[in-house]
Amino acid sequence: MTRTALVTGSTDGIGRQTARQLAAGGLKVIVHGRSKAKVDAALAGLRDELPGGELDGVSFDLGSLAGVRRGAEAIAKAAPQLHVLVNNAGIFATERVVTDEGFEMTFAVNYLGPFLLTELLAPRLVDSATGGPPSRVIDVASVAHTRGRIHLDDLQLARSWTGYAAYAQSKLANVMHALSLAERHDAKKLVAYSLHPGVVGTKLLRQGFGPVQGVSVDAGARTAIRLAAAESVDDPSGSYFSDGTATQPAPAAREASVRAALWDASVKLAKL
């Protein structure tokens, strides 16, 4: 049976490399991007590179909860089974923008949209694990989570926004998300991980920090590829990986009461 993986933000950068390597390894891969034109272009390029690869595509805006709901419906139709969800898409904003639904853009794209997408797809992921290894959710976070704080009284940072504060909060929320999923799901059915991909000179980092010298896109994608494709992962569900090795996340990520409060707030904001 061919396993199926969805990689968000996979029209370029780390996401594209993750999608490419998973397809090269024999998985069916659903490529995601905000724009249908970019998804179609990425699919055309990947099909040229991997003539035998099983590839499909879906386009929706992770910054729009209505868009995420439509996207989840399209994925459910395209993928009767889904074994891997790589929440890779992310942004670094240089000005505070609020979405039409009232959410700060970094929080919406990097965390709340992926949170909703994961919850909508979780039943499919769990069902697809029957008779095989557990399905996986892999959240691409960042070492920036170590400098983040969850502003429970101001998640949209209306009072104290900076691009870095918004980014660090969203990446801390990603790490917490994987830990919360690990607590809420039977590890025989669904496991979750978060990771720091390394400092990679992607479009996101250039937007946030200017010219960046770092590891290659190939190296940046390596941990997500291993966690997605391996028959089994020795490290427990909820683990955070840096430089490919499971390591303790920041103490803030391990604050159970804040994690629970963030989950409850996310459920309300996403209208679940």
**Residues identified as active-site:** 167
Q: Which residues contact 84 (CB under 8 A, 6 or more apart)?
A: 3, 4, 5, 6, 22, 27, 135, 136, 137, 138, 228
User: In this structure, which amino acid lies at residue 190?
Assistant: L
**Burial (CB count within 10 angstroms: exposed 0-12, middle 13-18, buried 19+), residue 214:** middle
User: In this structure, which amino acid lies at residue 160?
Assistant: S
Q: Point out which residues pair with 241 in neighbouring strands.
A: 195, 246
Two structure tokens written together for 232: 């089994």
Question: How many other C-beta atoms can be found within 10 angstroms of the C-beta atom of residue 12?
Answer: 15
Burial annotation 51-84 (CB, 10 A radius, 16+ → b, else e): eebebbbbbbbbbbbebbbebbebbeeebebbbb
Question: How many other C-beta atoms can be found within 10 angstroms of the C-beta atom of residue 265?
Answer: 14
Spatial separation of the C-alpha atoms in residues 145 and 125, rounded to whole Å: 26
